[in-house]
Structure 1
Amino acid sequence: MTTNYRHALASGTAISRRSLMAGASLAVPLVAAGAAGVSWAKPKPSPTPLATVSLGPSKYAHPGMVHTLADVEATSLHVADSAQPWLGGWNRLVANGRSNSGWQPDPLETVIRGGDGQNYAQLFPDVHAAYQNALRWRISGEAAHGAAAVRILNAWSGMLKTVTGNADRYLAAGIYGYQFANAAELVRDHPDFELERFRGMLLNIFHPMNEDFLTNHNGAVITNYWANWDLCNMASILAIGVFADRDDLVDRAVTYFQSGAGNGSLPNAVPFVYEDEGLAQWQESGRDQGHTIMGIGLMGAFCEMAWNQGIDCYGHDNNRFLKAAEYVAKYNLGNDVPFTPYTWQSGPKATTAPHVGWQTQTVPGAGSRAQPRPVWDQILGHYSGRKGLNTPWVSQIAATLRPDSGGGYYGTTSGGYDALGFGTLMQYPAQTGRRVSRLQSFNVPDRYVRHSGSTVRLDPTTSPVKDSQFRIVPGLASQADGRISFESVDMPGYFLRHWNYQFSLVQNDGSAVFKADATFLPVIGLAHSRLTSFRSHNFPDRYIRHENYGLVLDLMASDLDRADATYRMVD
């Protein structure tokens, strides 16, 4: 094992996460719609390609937040074919008043949320009007909606100077920061969009407030603020990082998700796990259900944005977030759930003033139980659609809202705008199907796992050729803890399988031995915490690694071994 790349790694050559990101250029909307937005023609390319705006080569996939280009293309095809439930979701979007292409923005220099003179109700309808028009433009190709979204976003980036108010200003900075970025991501290639100016607004107004909250928590003790406060600011930092191509912001947000001190990090937002029941208690469950479901929606949006950049937060800590979503869904469907008393400290830090005291919740909060919020189909789309996992309670609650809508449909106050919505339209599970991925090497990033006949090797490719594509299916031997198997897209029924610690592509013979040899547990990357390693189901001390570009099942004895066993799953 003396190839040059291993010597480079041994000598300390740094390989950044961005070097592994596959950039994707934006495409024009796929389908031309009728004037009313309901009568559809069959898919055809837009006759006039849109000019693109570029800040230079991007290592991030664009659009790559809650929606990707693949999402938009799949939705366009479903709606064009009048397929349900996507057509129902599209009709919800068309009927929503904020998606009207005649929407006129009403920007402010100073947005105030909380305290005297608050005026933020002037902001959130515009944010959602921009998002909904951008979505209609992307799906249908109707130029008027693209123009409307750009008109709204340009007006705000040309006017806004400050977001202020009482402590609630941090909610405004978080919620509207991440939503603004998602709307802008959909039109970033529009020739009339002031991309640089909008980027400056996000980086200079929203991001500093997001970071200030996660760092200082408004001068309060760390447990004072509910999970939602952290989560919206985490989502804003992540979204701004992707939009602005800022590695440091993306890394900051994902690291906080994994281990941050505040209540928005996964261990603190989901403090108690009931493993035998497949459930986990949400941090705000003893408070009320409106805020609890809001938190589920914010974490779902965060995980989706990370996923679309190749970072699996959904699966972190053995799918801990799925267990929390199941818990919240089960309770809001009218069922009993276990509850562990939750105690927290509130008030300012002791260095500034004595804290208020300690409080304890002993039962789930019944307030706003079963409140409709459009967050569930997105979560279902990942865990059931992509991963093939069992989601009994999320499946049931998602069905009660389907097809869901978006901002403005669920109430006129800010709570009705906390989620972008339209999960049925964009992320219903049958659309996503099983995840198809390529396995990109961490330490030889120009090479992917490929097969030629039964031979499996790490070989270079610059395009997503079929022999490098694998359908990620539930583990043939076990689905426990999210175990998976790799089925060839090019040769259905053939799977990656180890034999005598060597890998080949072999047809499934249905035997228990084959199933065990072809089943693996995805874990946090052994050489990079944002990537993935794969542990053998039947030899749990061994991992998939490459050696001289061949694939082997091996023990991990060194840093080089761990680097060889780390991969990025490229959708």
Structure 2
Amino acid sequence: MIIKKPAGFILSCAMLLFPLSGWSADTFKHPGMLSTSDDLARITAQVNQQSEPWFKGFQQLKLSLGWQPRAVDIVYRGRNSEHSENYPQLYRDIAVAYSHALYWKTTGDEAYAKSAVAILNAWGGTLKEIRGSTDAALAAGIYGYELANTAEIMRDYSGWNASDFDTFKTMMETVFLPINLDFIARHNNTKIDHYWANWDLAQLSSIMAIGILLDRKDLYDRAVDYYKNGDGNGAIGKLVWKLYPEQGMGQIQESGRDQAHSLLDIALAGVICQMAWNQGDDLFGYDDNRLMKGAEYVAAYNLGKTVPYTTYTNSDVTQTQISASARGEVRAIWALIYNHYVVLKGLSSPNITEMATKIRPEGGPWSYGASPGSFDQLGYGTLLFSLGEE
């Protein structure tokens, strides 16, 4: 189905092909993470007209004005003898705050802005540490980028007190960022290929997002450089490590592990590329659209198709065949990838297209079973990233 669009909308989509022309990441664009002010204005206009697929995407927003934040001073992820895990309190609060932030931006209903800010303030003024097992780094990475993205949407809300925003930024800089940077630097003193790609990608997502939030170009540049040139498995050449030119695909570093983590790899890499794109850097296109080739591979296999596979070996494992574990799992990650590569750039990605079509409209975390993994991505891609094709 092709939606008829006004000339202004078509022009705005065409302009997206040239990210922030005349502007550089020396000065950050705000909002400028997963969504820009132009994106949010486009979304609002389409929802107000009840145009599809945006309106169906808008209807997926999880709203709960009575939600009370459950902020704690220490978040635990990973079992240890010190404390039981409590990290679901954080990711559930983030999910509500993000959906309320989007609802406010789309409708102007200030009650939802107040709710989102109340959740951000609760965590900004309370959280002091992230502990647990080594999994604490996953919490710092995934929830770091998600919190920063939520705050980025709310940063221009006049009802968010400047001192409260400063407190929140300080919390991000002192609680999340040190863990992100330490992991990228040391990898817990393991061999460089020990950790799966998603660990690096989670840290890079958070470092980049916090860099934008804090207007710290050094952090942003570090994330971009690592994504291109890093030694760990989160660098794009190691994430999509084996190319199959005839099929237009690339094997993912975690393909022999399971599909849940392969999907997470695509989700996090997509987040990194989208944030960079909105700051004027085309990581989507880096190394001849290498991420697209990896996403095409993951989409094909999880659609039930046969894909080539090459034995993967690192210092810990040898995987001789692709893993069918969690094959077919649904995550709200495909609208972002599809709309950038296929709609915006006009590239052929049949499996990405099929997957995006299959799960449209994309919901939020509660739409996919509310398991911990469903909160690893913020969701609502149909609302946020659709550029006109349904």
Q: Fold conserved (TM > 0.5)?
A: yes
Contact kept? 1:405, 1:421, Cα under 8 Å: yes
Query: 1:161 aligns to what?
Result: 128
Structure 2 portions without partners, runs of 5+: 1-21
Read off the aligned partner of 2:320 and give its amino acid letter.
Answer: T
Aligned with 1:419 (options 370, 377, 385)? 377
Choose the corresponding residue for 2:193, options 218, 223, 238. 223
Q: CA deviation at 1:191?
A: 2.7
Amino acid in the other structure paired with 2:179:
M
Q: Partner of 1:74 in structure 2?
A: 42
The corresponding residue for 1:132 is 99
Is 2:72–2:123's contact at 8 Å kept on the other side of the alignment? yes
For 1:91 and 1:312, the matched residues in 2 are separated by 31
Cα deviation digits, residues 500-552 of structure 1 (max 9, x gap) = xxxxxxxxxxxxxxxxxxxxxxxxxxxxxxxxxxxxxxxxxxxxxxxxxxxxx
Q: Is the 8 A contact 1:21 1:60 kept in 2?
A: no
Out of 272, 276, 279, which is 2:249 matched to? 279
Choose which of 75, 84, 88 in structure 2 pairs with 1:111: 75
CA contact under 8 A between 1:287 and 1:364: conserved in structure 2? yes
Cα deviations across residues 190-221 of structure 1 (Å, max 9, x unaligned)? 23322111111111111110000011111211
Q: CA deviation at 1:362?
A: 1.3
Q: Which of 371, 374, 377 matches 2:332?
A: 374
How far did residue 386 of structure 1 move?
1.5
Q: What's the CA shift for 1:429?
A: 3.5
* Separation of aligned partners in 2, 1:383 and 1:196: 36
Structure 2: which amino acid aligns with 1:370? G
User: Hey, what's the Cα distance between the residues in 2 that align with 1:307 and 1:411?
Assistant: 31
Name the counterpart of 1:60.
28
Identify which of 115, 124, 128 aligns with 1:148: 115
Counterparts of 2:242 and 2:355, CA distance in 1: 22
**One-letter amino acid matched to 2:236:** L
- How do residues 443-462 of structure 1 correspond to structure 2 at under 5 angstroms? none
Shift of 1:159: 0.4
**RMSD between aligned alpha carbons?**
1.7
Note if 1:191 corresponds to 2:155. no
Q: Which amino acid aligns with 1:331?
A: Y
Give 2:353's aligned residue.
Answer: 395
Instruction: Provide the rounded CA distance (Å) in 2 between the counterparts of 1:429 and 1:84.
Output: 10
Cα separation, 1, equivalents of 2:329 and 2:211: 32
Q: C-alpha distance in 1, partners of 2:184/2:159?
A: 34
Residue number in structure 2 paired with 1:332: 302
Structure with higher Rg: it is 1
Describe the superposition over 1:103-142 as per-residue Cα deviations: whole angstroms up to 9, x where unpaired. Answer: 2101000000001311111110001111111111111111
Amino acid at match of 1:329: A
Residue matched to 2:172: 202
8 Å contact from structure 1 (residues 384, 429) kept in 2: no
Per-residue CA deviations over 1:427-456 (Å, capped at 9, x if unaligned) read: 12327x9xxxxxxxxxxxxxxxxxxxxxxx
Deviation at 1:224, TM superposition (A): 1.0
Q: Report the Cα distance in structure 1 between the residues aligned to 2:342 and 2:76, rounded to whole angstroms.
A: 40
Q: Measured at CA, do residues 429 and 390 of structure 1 come closer, stay the same or move farther in structure 2, by a change above 3 Å?
A: farther
Q: Provide the C-alpha distance between the structure 1 equivalents of 2:261 and 2:358, rounded to a whole number of angstroms.
A: 19
Contact 2:198–2:265 (Cα < 8 Å) also in 1: yes
Runs of 4+, deviation exceeding 4 Å:
none
Which residue in the other structure is 2:203 paired with? 233
Which shifted more, 320-329 or 80-89? 80-89
Secondary structure of the structure 2 residue equivalent to 1:272:
strand
The answer on whether the counterparts of 2:44 and 2:107 sit within 8 Å (CA) in structure 1 is yes
Deviations, residues 252-280 of structure 1 (Å, cap 9, x unaligned): 00000001011000011011011121100
| Alpha-carbon separation, structure 1, partners of 2:268 and 2:369 | 18
1:255 to 1:22, Cα distance in 2 relative to 1, 3 A: closer
Contiguous gaps of at least 5 residues in structure 1: 1-19, 24-57, 347-358, 434-571
**CA–CA distance in 1 between the matches of 2:268 and 2:344?**
19
Q: Which deviations, in whole Å up to 9, do the C-alpha atoms of 1:374-428 show, x marking residues without a partner?
A: 0001101100121111111000011111001012221233111011111111112
User: 1:300-356 CA deviation, whole Å, 9 max, x = no partner?
Assistant: 01100000000110000000000001011011111100111100113xxxxxxxxxx
Instruction: State the partner residue of 1:175.
Output: 142
Quote the Cα distance in structure 2 between the aligned partners of 1:200 and 1:209.
14
Q: Which is richer in helix?
A: 2
Aligned residues: 365
SS across alignment from 2:60: helix
Q: Percent identity of the aligned residues?
A: 44
| Counterpart residue type for residue 78 of structure 1 | Q
Give the letter aligned to residue 311 of structure 1: D
Give me the whole-angstrom Cα distance separating, in 2, the residues matched to 1:21 and 1:133. Answer: 30
- Which residue number in structure 2 is paired with residue 455 of structure 1? none
How high is the TM-score relative to the length of structure 1? 0.62
Q: 1:310 aligns with which of 280, 283, 296?
A: 280
Specify which structure has the higher proportion of strand: 1
| Deviation for aligned residue 1:85 | 1.3
SS of the residue corresponding to residue 429 of structure 1 reads coil
Q: Which residue is equivalent to 2:3?
A: none
Residues in 1 aligned to 2:383 and 2:131: alpha-carbon distance in whole angstroms: 34
The answer to whether the 8 A contact 2:24-2:280 is kept is: no
Measured after TM superposition, the shift of residue 21 of structure 1 is 3.8
Equivalent of 2:214 in 244, 255, 263: 244
Q: Secondary structure at the residue paired with 1:281?
A: strand
> Deviation at 1:286?
0.8
| Aligned equivalents of 1:413, 1:212: Cα separation in 2 | 28
Q: TM-score, normalised by structure 2?
A: 0.91
2:55 to 81, 87, 106: 87
**Which residue is 2:342 aligned to?**
384
Amino acid corresponding to residue 128 of structure 2 in structure 1:
K
